[in-house]
Amino acid sequence: MEVKFNGEKYALITPEKTYEDSFNNYIKELGSEERYPYPLDIPADDFQKYVETLHNYSQGKDLPAWLVPNTTYWLICNSEIVACSHLRHELNHQLKHAGGHIGLGVRPSFRGRGLSNLLLDLTIQQARAISIKEIHIHCFEDNLASKQMIQNAGGLLTSRIDNYQANLHLLRYVVS
């Protein structure tokens, strides 16, 4: 899927082997920052295998016990991966409690340009395409950019878990 945003062309794709260098540079940029969403945290030394693994997960194949079927998306601009999202196709009890359908991160050097808004909208379109009617999206209360991004996408705050992790409160939104 291709879109124009602020005068640039962006494409939403699923992982491809040709982006190995761009992926490695994204990981380098993250440095010691937590790799979020989780596909950025899977070892990718064997990049071909990494790409195949993510495609298998998308088809519900070879899933570890802690995963439900989910698709990883990359947002591409000028042949660079600028952001990453993943969409869970379904939620188990635990993920409904905390986790939700969509996780998303923007490459550090591309932050502050509205790309999280764009990628969340595109990922929500993918959720609609597989008939998810109520999309659950969660974030920590102190993550102000994430909170704003979810609200921009039409997320309605449905509940809050106090002290979900230490002093971190989890906000739970639904996009209908």
- Is the Cβ of residue 40 or residue 44 nearer to ligand COA in the bound state? 40
Would you give the DSSP letter of residue 176?
-
Give the strands of the sheet with 156-165, arranged side by side.
135-140, 168-175, 156-165
Least distance CB 68 / ligand COA (angstroms): 18
- Is the Cβ of residue 97 or residue 111 nearer to ligand COA in the bound state? 111
119 Cβ contact partners less than 8 Å away, ≥ 6 residues apart: 12, 73, 75, 83, 85, 104, 106
- Is the Cβ of residue 12 or residue 115 nearer to ligand COA in the bound state? 115
Cβ atoms of 76 and 64 closer than 8 Å:
no
| CA 127/CA 11 separation, integer angstroms | 17
Least distance CB 62 / ligand COA (angstroms): 26
Least distance CB 144 / ligand COA (angstroms): 3
Using CB under 6 A as the criterion, which residues of the chain lie in contact with ligand COA when the complex forms?
36, 104-106, 111-117, 139, 143-146, 148-149, 152
18 Cβ contact partners less than 8 Å away, ≥ 6 residues apart: none
- Is the Cβ of residue 81 or residue 104 nearer to ligand COA in the bound state? 104
Least distance CB 116 / ligand COA (angstroms): 3
